[in-house]
C-alpha cells in the first residue's frame, strides 16, 4: 500500500480494491448526485466518483460516500481503515484497539509547510470573487432547507484565547454564494468554541476543509474529548504530523493537500434559519432552528477539485462508521481506566449508533473476585453515566466476548437469547442528546432521560453455562480438524 497523503491518493487505493465506480455521464448536483450516493450506500456498492458535474465549470468533480462501508468482500471497514493508515483488512475490534491506543500517545502537532507550493493554494478567490456559485454544492434530500455545503468536510475553529483548536464535522447549509448557516449546538465542540466568541460579542473565525488527508474527516466525525486538538490526535494516530498552511484571511491553519478551503467568520448571534436536513437516525424530520451566519471571506482550491458528499439517512452511511469507531474506542478507554476488564466495544451500525455493545472476557471473574454479574454491570453503568461519551447511546448491552459485536448475526443471536425481557437492567438518568427520536418530546425538550444498561452476561464457565450449538461448540476437536482439512482440500465440492 502506498502512503496516503490526500484525498486523491486515497481514491487511488480504493480504486485498486475495486471500491470506486467512475461515472462519466453528466450528473446534476441537485439531488441526483446524492440519490446515486444514497443508493450506493444502501446496496454496498463502490463509492461513486462523479467526473462530470452539471451546471459548474469543467473539471469540478465529486466523490460520494468516501467514509461509508466498503464494497470490498469481507472488508466492510476498508474505507475508514485506509483513511487512518491501516490495512484494508482491519476488523472492528482491531480498529477500536488502534484508536484507543492512539489516545494514550502524546499529541503530534501539525507541521507548517510552504504555502506557495501547497495544492490547496493553486486557486485563490478573495472578496466578492469568493462565491460558492461556481462550486458543485449538493442538494442532498428533496425536503432539505437548501443545498448543503458541508456533509463530509471539517470546520476548524479556535477559542479566543487560543488554547483549543477544534476540527469537527457539522452540517452547513448554503444560503447564497457568500453566506451559509449550520448546526452549532451547545453540546457540540464547535458550539462550545462558538459560545466563547458569543460571550465576548465577536464573530468567530472559521475555515471549512473539503478533502485533504482522508483521516481528517474521519477524526472530525469522532467524538474526542473536549479540549483535544483533532489534528494533533490524527498526527499521533498516523505517526506523522499533518502538513498545514495558513489561511488567507485569518490565523487558522488548514491541510496543505485540501481540495477546497472556505474561510470566513461566524456571527456572534443566531441570525439565520437552518434546516431541515435528513439525518443519521434515518428520519427526514421537518425541523429548523436559529443558527449563526457563516460569512465567506476567501475560497482557495486545487485545480480540478473533488468535493466529498455524504448522503446521510438510514444506516449504514458515512455518518455512522466514524462515530461508531471513535465512541467505541473512548468507551473501552474509560472502562479500562476504571479498572474494569473489557475486550472491546462497538456501536452497531445498523442501529444508527443508538446502541453500545460492550464485551468482556469470559474469565472476568478472575480479575474481579467476589463480584457477581449484577454488580459488575452496575459498575460499568456507573462509569458510563459519569462520562459524556457514556451517555451518547441510550441503550447499552454487556455481553461475553464469545460474540463479535460488529457481526450482526452474532449480535442478534446474543441479544435474542441472553437479554431478559424486563429484568437485569438499570436506568441511569442524566443529560441526553437532542437528536434521538426514540425519546419522548418532553424528554428531548428538557434534555434529560435514561440510558438503559442491560446485564446479558452468561454464568461462569462450569457453573451452569452450556456450550454453543455451533461447529466449534458441539463437535469433538479431532472431528473438527478432519472436516476442516477436507474442506481445505475440496472446498464446496
Positions annotated as catalytic residues are 279
Helices (H), 92-208: 92-102, 189-200
Dihedral Cα 54, 287, 440, 396, nearest 10 deg:
30
- Of the candidates 79, 73, 4, 68, the one whose C-alpha atom is nearest the C-alpha of residue 34 is 68
Q: How far, in Å, CA of 450 to CA of 20, rounded?
A: 42
Q: How far, in Å, CA of 151 to CA of 139, rounded?
A: 11
Determine contact, residues 310/65, Cβ cutoff 8 Å. yes
SS3 359: strand
- Of the candidates 320, 332, 321, 323, the one whose C-alpha atom is nearest the C-alpha of residue 103 is 332
Determine contact, residues 184/282, Cβ cutoff 8 Å. no
* CB burial of residue 189 (10 Å; 0-12, 13-18, 19+): buried
Q: How far, in Å, CA of 256 to CA of 7, rounded?
A: 12
- Phi/psi for 123 (5° steps) reads -135, 130
The order of strands in the sheet holding 61-64 is 20-23, 47-50, 61-64, 306-309
Q: If you compute the radius of gyration of the chain from its CA atoms, what whole number of angstroms results?
A: 24
- Phi/psi for 317 (5° steps) reads -140, -170
H or E element, residue 14: helix 7-16
C-alpha distances in Å from residue 16, one per residue of 66, 83, 170 = 15, 15, 31
67 DSSP assignment:
T
Beta strands in 381-447 (DSSP E): 395-400, 425-431
The order of strands in the sheet holding 253-255 is 111-112, 243-246, 253-255
H or E element, residue 205: strand 204-210
Amino acid at each position: 500500500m502506498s502512503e496516503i497523503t490526500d484525498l486523491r491518493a486515497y481514491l487511488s487505493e480504493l480504486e485498486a480494491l475495486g471500491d470506486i465506480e467512475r461515472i462519466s455521464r453528466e450528473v446534476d448536483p441537485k439531488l441526483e448526485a446524492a440519490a446515486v450516493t444514497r443508493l450506493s450506500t444502501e446496496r454496498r456498492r463502490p463509492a461513486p466518483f462523479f467526473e462530470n458535474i452539471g451546471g459548474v465549470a469543467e473539471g469540478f468533480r465529486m466523490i460520494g460516500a468516501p467514509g461509508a462501508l466498503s464494497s470490498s468482500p469481507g472488508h466492510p471497514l476498508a474505507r475508514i481503515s485506509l483513511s487512518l493508515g491501516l490495512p484494508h483488512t482491519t476488523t472492528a475490534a482491531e480498529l477500536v484497539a488502534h484508536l484507543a491506543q492512539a489516545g494514550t500517545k502524546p499529541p503530534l502537532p501539525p507541521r507548517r509547510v510552504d504555502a506557495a507550493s501547497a495544492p490547496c493554494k493553486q486557486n485563490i478567490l478573495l472578496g466578492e470573487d469568493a462565491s460558492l456559485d461556481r462550486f458543485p454544492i449538493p442538494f442532498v434530500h428533496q425536503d432539505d432547507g437548501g443545498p448543503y455545503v458541508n456533509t463530509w468536510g471539517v470546520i476548524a475553529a479556535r477559542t479566543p484565547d487560543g488554547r483549543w483548536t477544534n476540527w469537527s464535522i457539522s452540517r452547513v447549509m448554503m444560503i447564497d454564494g457568500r453566506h451559509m448557516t449550520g448546526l452549532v449546538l451547545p453540546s457540540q465542540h464547535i458550539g462550545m468554541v462558538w459560545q466563547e466568541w458569543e460571550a465576548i460579542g465577536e464573530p468567530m473565525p472559521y475555515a471549512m476543509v473539503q478533502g485533504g488527508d482522508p483521516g481528517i474527516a474521519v477524526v472530525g466525525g469522532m467524538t474526542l474529548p473536549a479540549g483535544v486538538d483533532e489534528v494533533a490526535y490524527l498526527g499521533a494516530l498516523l505517526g506523522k504530523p499533518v502538513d498545514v498552511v495558513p489561511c488567507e484571511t485569518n490565523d487558522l491553519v488548514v491541510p496543505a493537500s485540501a481540495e477546497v478551503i472556505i474561510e470566513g467568520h461566524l456571527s456572534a448571534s443566531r441570525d439565520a434559519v437552518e434546516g431541515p436536513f435528513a439525518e443519521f437516525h434515518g428520519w427526514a424530520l421537518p425541523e429548523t432552528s436559529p443558527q449563526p451566519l457563516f460569512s465567506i471571506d476567501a475560497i482557495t482550491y486545487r485545480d480540478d477539485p473533488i468535493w466529498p458528499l455524504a448522503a446521510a439517512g438510514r444506516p449504514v452511511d458515512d455518518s455512522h462508521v466514524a462515530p461508531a469507531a471513535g465512541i467505541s474506542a473512548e468507551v473501552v478507554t474509560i472502562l479500562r481506566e476504571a479498572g474494569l476488564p473489557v475486550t472491546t466495544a462497538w456501536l452497531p451500525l445498523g442501529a444508527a449508533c443508538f446502541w453500545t455493545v460492550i464485551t468482556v472476557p469470559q474469565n472476568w471473574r478472575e480479575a474481579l473476585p467476589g463480584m457477581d454479574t449484577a454488580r459488575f454491570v452496575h459498575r460499568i453503568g456507573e462509569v458510563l453515566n459519569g462520562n459524556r461519551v457514556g451517555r451518547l447511546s441510550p441503550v447499552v448491552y454487556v455481553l461475553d466476548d464469545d460474540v463479535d459485536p460488529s457481526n450482526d448475526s452474532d449480535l442478534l443471536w446474543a441479544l435474542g437469547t441472553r437479554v431478559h425481557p424486563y429484568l437485569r437492567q438499570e436506568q441511569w438518568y442524566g443529560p441526553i442528546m437532542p437528536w434521538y427520536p426514540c425519546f419522548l418530546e418532553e424528554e428531548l425538550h428538557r434534555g434529560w432521560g435514561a440510558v438503559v444498561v442491560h446485564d446479558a452476561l452468561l454464568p461462569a464457565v462450569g457453573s451452569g453455562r452450556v456450550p454453543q450449538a455451533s461447529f466449534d461448540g458441539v463437535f469433538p476437536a479431532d472431528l473438527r480438524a478432519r472436516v476442516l482439512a477436507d474442506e481445505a482440500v475440496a472446498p464446496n465440492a
